């Protein structure tokens, strides 16, 4: 349950003025949090059972990579548009529309008779998620209209995504080992259906924004640029960087993103006002979100492969190895709010980045050796990394939304989730370039440590 006692989002000072909170805010937060975790759960739910899916549908490595990445490509590509739709038409209305698309696509994925249907369903799931994720943040702002209570809620909200990602890895591995990979796909269907049923009773109505355009040219450029660039990075796992299959989408995506930045400077009502990103605190927060997501995603991929391929662990035992990771994540997320209230969001974000960097460094130095015992080889890093990640996410969520007006909260949600999606994609592409797992983790740890230092200088 979210504690709505008043405190300033950065310094821990008293509340600002604001309207009364929504009816049953705790229940509303639980509902919105379950939606957010389900959206991120879906992102990672195919990682562990992917080999089983490949055998079931006779898919090669490239097909499996595309299947695994399809959801994230449309999710990240459409998030900016989804955020502006929430600001324009109202958070609850946009959330309902996104959940309808997400539920239908999730059900289609669950019942998919072949790989084509499953792939199309994953793309459609991402589109629904791109509308639902920023809309959920917009509704959250209406649930906690007072700045102090909203800051407290965001401190908890910041850790939900990494909890959802962890749950996707753990539960999908356990479920696919004990039953069928399809059973793991029931989770988003159930959560989204319940959210649709309960939203009218638990969530407040949110007003539509001014009757302005949605900057469709900007939406097309940003969506095309992010999706094509992300697709090119994903293909580096199966193709060399210099191949046409990689260079064509990468260069086209980069050109579209450059055109997007030019168009946004000239647009009367831009999809992404560039001034929104010039705030130093917000820029630091978005970097922290992307880097922390990259570090945790890289760790899951590398350790899942290491334990199963190098140590011959089963999928079930591999999932069990991450249970301490999940426990540390929950404990750290629970304590992040009070720490932010006492020490401020910049300090907690910087400390979280530093602890996560230490965890990654330990895994790189001791965890990947083939004969290192789990108890003192892997476990210390698997405790430090999530503890730091949860704190960094919580602090960054508060920093990224501090001072954002209610009319731009959907935009903020879109930008935060975009950083969260792009971080792992770029990191995994860099992993393939560096080649060595140890070097990749050590390099990521060094970047996180540098980000922690820079965050300490944020006022």
DSSP conformational letter for 369: S
- The reply to whether 193 and 334 lie within a common domain is yes
Contact 386, 146 (CB under 8 A): no
pLDDT of residue 22: 47
Whether 14 is covered by a domain: the verdict is no
User: Is 195 found in the same domain as 56?
Assistant: yes
- Of the three residues 248, 272, 296, the one that is the final residue of a domain is 272
Q: How many separate domains does the chain show?
A: 2
Residues 167 and 232 in one domain: no
- How does residue 281 score in pLDDT terms, banded at 50, 70 and 90? confident
Same domain, 176 and 280: yes
Specify whether 232 is located in the same domain as 369: no
Considering the domain architecture, whether residues 45 and 151 belong to the same structural domain is answered as yes
Instruction: Write out pLDDT tens, residues 417-440.
Output: 888 888 877 776 666 566 567 777
Domain that holds residue 266: 216-272
As a whole number, the mean pLDDT across the chain is: 84
Answer whether residue 405 is part of any domain: yes
End residue of a domain, out of 228, 254, 272: 272
Same domain, 431 and 418: yes
What confidence score (pLDDT) does residue 20 get? Answer: 40
Looking at the fold, whether 289 and 225 belong to one and the same domain comes out as: no
Structure-token pair, residue 446: 């060094």
Structural domain includes residue 4: no
**CA dist., res. 296 & res. 69, Å (int):** 17
Q: pLDDT tier at 387 (50, 70, 90 boundaries)?
A: very high
Tokens, residue 412: 């903020």
User: Binning pLDDT at 50, 70 and 90, where does residue 127 land?
Assistant: very high
Separation of alpha carbons 383 and 233, rounded Å: 30
Q: What is the mean pLDDT of residues 39-54?
A: 84
Whether 429 maps to a domain, the answer reads yes
327 in a structural domain: yes
Do 35 and 66 have their domain in common?
yes
Residue 370 has pLDDT above 90, yes or no: no
Same domain, 227 and 319: no
What's the chain's length in residues?
A: 459
**pTM of the predicted model as reported, rounded to 2 decimal places:** 0.81
**Would you list the DSSP string of 196-249?**
HHHHHHHS-------S----HHHHHHHHHHHHHHHHHHHHTTTS-TTSHHHHHH
Specify the higher pLDDT residue, 395 or 236: 395
Instruction: Say yes or no: 99 and 243 in one domain.
Output: no
Domain termination residue (choose one: 272, 292, 318): 272
Task: Judge whether 51 lies within some domain.
Answer: yes
Specify the CATH number for the domain of residue 407.
1.20.1250.20
Is the same domain home to 445 and 307? yes
Residue 211 falls inside a structural domain: no
What are the DSSP calls for 267-334, one per residue?
-SS-SS-THHHH-HHHHHHHHHHHHHHHHHHHHHHHHHHIIIIIS---HHHHHHHTHHHHHHHHHHHH
Helix (H, G, I), strand (E, B) or coil at 64: helix
Residue 18 lies in a domain: no
Which pLDDT score, from 0 to 100, does residue 215 have?
80
């Amino acid at each position: 349950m979210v504690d709505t006692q008043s405190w300033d989002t950065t310094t821990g000072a008293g509340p600002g003025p604001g309207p009364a909170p929504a009816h049953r805010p705790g229940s509303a937060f639980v509902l919105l949090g379950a939606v957010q975790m389900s959206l991120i759960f879906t992102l990672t739910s195919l990682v562990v059972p992917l080999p089983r899916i490949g055998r079931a549908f006779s898919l090669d490595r490239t097909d499996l990579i595309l299947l695994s990445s399809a959801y994230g490509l449309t999710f990240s590509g459409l998030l900016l548009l989804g955020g502006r739709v929430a600001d324009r038409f109202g958070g609850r209305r946009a959330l309902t529309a996104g959940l309808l698309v997400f539920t239908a696509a999730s059900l289609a994925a669950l019942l998919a008779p072949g790989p084509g249907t499953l792939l199309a369903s994953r793309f459609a799931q991402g589109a629904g998620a791109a509308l639902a994720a920023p809309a959920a943040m917009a509704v959250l702002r209406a649930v906690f209209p007072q700045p102090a209570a909203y800051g407290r809620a965001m401190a908890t909200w910041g850790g939900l995504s990494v909890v959802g990602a962890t749950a996707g890895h753990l539960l999908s591995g356990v479920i696919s080992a004990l039953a069928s990979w399809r059973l793991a796909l029931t989770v988003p269907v159930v959560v989204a259906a319940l959210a649709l049923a309960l939203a009218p009773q638990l969530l407040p109505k949110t007003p539509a924004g001014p009757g302005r355009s949605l900057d469709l040219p900007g939406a097309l450029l940003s969506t095309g640029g992010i999706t094509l660039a992300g697709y090119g990075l994903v293909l580096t796992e199966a193709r060399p960087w210099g191949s046409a299959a990689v260079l064509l989408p990468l260069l086209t995506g980069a050109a579209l993103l450059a055109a997007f930045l030019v168009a946004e400077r000239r647009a009367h009502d831009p999809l992404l006002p560039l001034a929104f990103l010039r705030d130093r605190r917000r820029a630091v927060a978005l970097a922290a979100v992307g880097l922390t997501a990259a570090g945790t995603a890289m760790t899951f991929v590398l350790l899942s492969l290491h334990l199963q391929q190098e140590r011959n662990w089963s999928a079930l035992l591999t999932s069990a190895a991450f249970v301490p990771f999940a426990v540390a994540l929950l404990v750290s997320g629970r304590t992040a709010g009070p720490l932010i209230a006492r020490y401020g969001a910049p300090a907690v974000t910087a400390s979280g980045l530093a602890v996560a960097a230490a965890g990654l460094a330990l895994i790189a130095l001791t965890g990947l050796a083939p004969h290192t015992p789990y108890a003192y080889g892997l476990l210390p890093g698997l405790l430090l990394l999530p503890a730091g990640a949860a704190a960094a996410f919580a602090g960054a969520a508060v920093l990224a939304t501090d001072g954002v007006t209610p009319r731009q909260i959907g935009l903020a949600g879109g930008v935060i989730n975009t950083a969260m999606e792009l971080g792992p994609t770029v990191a995994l592409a860099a992993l393939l370039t560096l080649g060595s797992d140890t070097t990749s983790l050590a390099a990521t740890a060094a970047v996180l440590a540098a980000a922690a230092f820079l965050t300490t200088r944020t006022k």
